[in-house]
Amino acid sequence: MKLSYKDVSLIFDADKGKIISLNDGKKEYISTPVSLFKISLRNENGEQLFEESETMKMTASSETENQITARYDGDFCTAEIKIETDDKISWFIKIKPRKDLIAEWVNYPQIAVPDDLSEDGYNILWGFNEGVLVDSMEERELNFAYIEPEYPSKGLMGLYPAVVETQFMAYFSKESGLYIGAHDIEDCLKGVDFYRTDKGGILLEIRNFCGCRTGEEYCMPYPVVVQFFKGQWQDAAEIYRKWFDENKKDDYVPILKNKKLPEWYGESPVVITYPVRGTHDMDIMTPNAMFPYINAMKHVERLEKELESRILVLLMHWEGTAPWAPPYVWPPFGGEDELKKFIDALHERGDVLGVYCSGIGWTVKSNVDDYETSEQFERENLKEEMCLSPKQTLPYSNICTNQRVGYDLCPSRKFTVDTLTDQVEKMVGAGIDYIQLLDQNHGGTPYFCYSKNHGHPPVPGKWQVDAMKEILSGITAKSGKVLFGCESAAAEAYAPYLLFSDNRFELNYVVGKQVPVYAYILHEYLNNFMGNQVCAGIWLDHDNAPGNIYERIAYSFSAGDMLTLVLDQFGEITWNWGELTTTTMPSQENVKILVRNLNSWRRGYGKKYLHTGRMTKGFEIECGVNEFARVDLPSLKRSALHTSSWISHENTFGQFVINYNDRAEKFSVTLPDDGYKLVFANGTRKELNAGVNTISIEAFSAVFIERK
C-alpha cells in the first residue's frame, strides 16, 4: 500500500503491520521496519499485557489516493488505523480492548530512523528541558538513558506535559529533515522520547496515554503529524508554532496584553538565590550567615548597585518544616515576624522576594532534620490521598529520595487541592511575590496514579493534566499578581498558570547541545529565569574550565531568560546550587560585569525583543569554538559566541551576538542587503553592508544587529 505527495512516498505493508519505506526524495527515513503500533493493556490485577501490529491479524484494509485504513485483531484488543496525506502525513488510531481489560497506552506511529547521528550530520531535536539537539546516542544513553514511564515515577521521564515541554521532535540534517508532532489542543498526556531498538535504528516514540476505564474504547482525539522540511532546528519548531498559532486557546495571553503580571516582571530583576540553613541539600540544617533573613540585605544592596538592577531574592531551605519536604512549608523557619522584616525591607527598595517549594508530594520523614508526619499520616488515613501503583500498592516516591521519604499526592484529590491552596494563601498573605511552587514536578507535571478508588480512570491519562490545570487555575485566580513557577520551564499545558519558572537547560550538557525550543514557541507569553543550575558541577569541571559560568549566563540571556546568581552564605557568587567539589570560586568581578552588561540590554534597548518579543530564525554567524572540561567525559564544545534573533511587537528584527569571553572576539555575518545597523550597548550605531561583515565584540558584552 502506498501514499505519495510531492516527492514524499510512504509504503505500508498492511499484512505485516509495518512501514516499509518513508522517503522524501532525499533520504530513506526507515532504518528497520518495526511494528506500526504497540499497545499496553492492564488486567484487573494490574498486570501489563501487550499487542503489536506485526503479531496481530490484519482483518480489513482499504486504500485510496490519499488514505490508508486497516483493522487488526489480537488476543487482547482490536485496533483500527488511518493514515492520511495532503501536505503532510496524519496518523489516527482507535483501540477496542477486551471487556475485562483497560487500554493503558499506545505507541503510534512507530518510526525507527537510521542510527546515524553525528555532530555535523543528523541530529534529533527534543523538547527536553527547554530544548536539546542530540548528536550522539552513546552520550545520551550514558548520561540520561531512556526511562520507561511507570510508577513510582521519576521526574526526568520523557513525558509531555512535563520535563518535555513541547509535543514534537525532529530528526534532521542541513539537507533534509523529518518532523513528528502531536497536534493536540487538549494537552493529553503522552510520551515524547526516543531510543535505540533491538532491531537497529532509533525509534521516535509518541506514546499516547489513553486514560480509559475497563473495556472502554480509545479513539485518539488528535492526529500525530509527520512532515518533511529542510533547514535547522528553528525550521522544525516553525512547523509546530504555525499549528500552535492557528489553534491556541484564549488563555495564552501575550505579555504585552497580560494585565495579571506584576510591575517587576517587566523590569528584569536579577534572581539571587541562596539557602538560609546549611550550605547544600544534605548538610546539617543549622542556620547560616544568611539568617536571620535581614542579614542578606547588605548583599542585596551591594548587588543592586554593582549589577545596576533590581533584585529578586529566591530563598532555599526557608521552610519551617524541612527543606524540600512537601506539601507543608509554613510557617517559615524562624517565624513569620523575621521573614516579614525582610520582605518589608526588600519592598521598600523596590526589590521582591520569592521562595522555593517542593510540589505535590507527601513527606513522611525528612532525611536532613527531625521533621516527621507518620502519626498524622496514620491518624488521617492519608494513604487514600496518595498515588498508587498498577497493583494498588503504595510505594515510596522516587522524587528527592536523598532529602526525604514519602509519597506522591494524587492531583485529583480534594485533599491535595485544599492543602496546596492553604499553603499558598499563607505565603501570599505574608507578602511573598513569587512562589516556585512545583520544584520536583518538572514542567508542572503530577505523577502517575493507578488508584481504583479516586474517581479517575485507573491508568494515566488526560485526567491528570486536567486535574493539575484545575489546581493551578484555582490557585492563580486567588493570588492577585503573585507569580508561580515550577522546576524546568512550564510545559505548554501549564504555561498560562506558571509564568516564571526555573529553567534547567544545564541538564542538557550531558544530553546534547542546548537550544531554546521552548522560547521559540512560547516566549512572547512568558519569561523564565536561569534557575539555580543544580547539577552543573556534577558534569562541568569548574576548576579547569571556569569560563563555563560565563557561557551559561550568556546562553540564558540569548534564550530570553532573566539571569540568576547563586550565592554562598557569605554573599559570594558560586558556580551553581549544591556545589561541593570545586576548590575555587568564579571571578566575582567578571561575573558581575557580564550580568550587568547583559541585563542592561534586557531592561533598556533590547526590552521589546527580549521581554515581549517573538523568537525567530536569524543569520548564521561564523566564529570560534570554545572547549570546556567536563568531569569524566570528553570536553564540551560550544560556540565562542551565542546568538539569538527576535521580532518585536513593532515588527522590527533584531539579532543579539553575545561575547561571554574575557577577551574580544570577532565574528562574520552575511547580510542580504544594506538595511541593517549594528547597535552597541552605549547606543552608538554603525551601518552594515550587504554581503560579509566582520565585527568585533568586546569582552563580556553584546552587540545587536537590527532592521527596522
CATH number at residue 48: 2.70.98
Segment 441-460 shows an average pLDDT of 98
Share of the chain above pLDDT 90, in %: 97
In the prediction, which pLDDT does 5 show?
Answer: 87
In the prediction, which pLDDT does 580 show?
Answer: 80
- Global confidence as pTM: 0.97
In the prediction, which pLDDT does 111 show?
Answer: 98
Pick the closest to residue 29 from 199, 192, 204 (CA basis): 204
User: Which residues are 184's β-sheet partners?
Assistant: none
Q: Quote the distance between the C-alpha of residue 200 and its chain's center.
A: 29
- What is the spatial distance between Cα 156 and Cα 224, in angstroms, rounded to a whole number? 23
> Residue 344 falls within a domain, yes or no?
no
- From 247, 263, 281, the end of a domain falls on 247
In the prediction, which pLDDT does 447 show?
Answer: 97
DSSP state of 243: H
- What is the spatial distance between Cα 89 and Cα 400, in angstroms, rounded to a whole number? 41
**Residue 548 and residue 542 in contact, taking contact as beta carbons nearer than 8 Å:** yes
Phi and psi (nearest 5°) for 197?
Answer: -95, 160
> Residue 437 falls within a domain, yes or no?
no
Task: Check whether the bond before 275 is cis (ω within 30° of 0).
Answer: no
Which CATH number fits the domain that encloses residue 696?
2.60.40.1180
Segment 249-277 shows an average pLDDT of 96
Segment 374-392 shows an average pLDDT of 98
> How confident is residue 597, by pLDDT bands cut at 50, 70 and 90?
very high
- What is the spatial distance between Cα 271 and Cα 409, in angstroms, rounded to a whole number? 30
* pLDDT exceeds 80 at position 494: yes
In the prediction, which pLDDT does 513 show?
Answer: 97
In the prediction, which pLDDT does 668 show?
Answer: 98
> Residue 485 falls within a domain, yes or no?
no
In the prediction, which pLDDT does 574 show?
Answer: 97
Number of other residues whose CB lies within 10 A of the CB of residue 79: 26
Distances (CA, A) of 541 to 48, 365, 565: 43, 34, 18
Per the structure, how many domains does the chain have? 2
Segment 561-565 shows an average pLDDT of 98
> Residue 621 falls within a domain, yes or no?
yes
> Residue 494 falls within a domain, yes or no?
no
User: Which cell numbers in the block locate residue 621?
Assistant: 554567524
Distances (CA, A) of 40 to 95, 138, 153, 465, 486: 11, 28, 17, 20, 30
Task: Check whether the bond before 327 is cis (ω within 30° of 0).
Answer: yes
Q: Quote the distance between the C-alpha of residue 164 and its chain's center.
A: 5
Pick the closest to residue 501 from 482, 481, 521, 487 (CA basis): 487
pLDDT, tens digit, for every residue of 465-491?
999 999 999 999 999 999 999 999 999
* pLDDT exceeds 80 at position 283: yes
* pLDDT exceeds 80 at position 526: yes
pLDDT, tens digit, for every residue of 2-18?
988 889 999 999 999 99
- From 222, 247, 272, the end of a domain falls on 247
* pLDDT exceeds 80 at position 581: no
- From 191, 219, 247, the end of a domain falls on 247
Segment 671-683 shows an average pLDDT of 94
Distances (CA, A) of 265 to 60, 270, 352, 594: 58, 11, 10, 21
**Residue 17 and residue 56 in contact, taking contact as beta carbons nearer than 8 Å:** yes
Distances (CA, A) of 45 to 4, 6, 38, 179, 451: 45, 50, 21, 38, 12
- What is the spatial distance between Cα 694 and Cα 382, in angstroms, rounded to a whole number? 66
In the prediction, which pLDDT does 250 show?
Answer: 81
* pLDDT exceeds 80 at position 549: yes
> Residue 328 falls within a domain, yes or no?
no
Phi and psi (nearest 5°) for 310?
Answer: -70, 165
Number of other residues whose CB lies within 10 A of the CB of residue 136: 15
> Residue 610 falls within a domain, yes or no?
no
- What is the spatial distance between Cα 614 and Cα 132, in angstroms, rounded to a whole number? 19
Segment 666-691 shows an average pLDDT of 95
pLDDT averaged over the chain? 97
> How confident is residue 251, by pLDDT bands cut at 50, 70 and 90?
confident
Segment 153-158 shows an average pLDDT of 95
Q: Range of 666's domain?
A: 615-707
> How confident is residue 455, by pLDDT bands cut at 50, 70 and 90?
very high
> Residue 59 falls within a domain, yes or no?
yes
> How confident is residue 249, by pLDDT bands cut at 50, 70 and 90?
confident
Sequence-distant (6+) residues with CB within 8 A of 603 are: 267, 268, 309
Angle, nearest 10°, between helix axes 588-603 and 297-307?
Answer: 70
Share of the chain above pLDDT 70, in %: 100
In the prediction, which pLDDT does 199 show?
Answer: 86
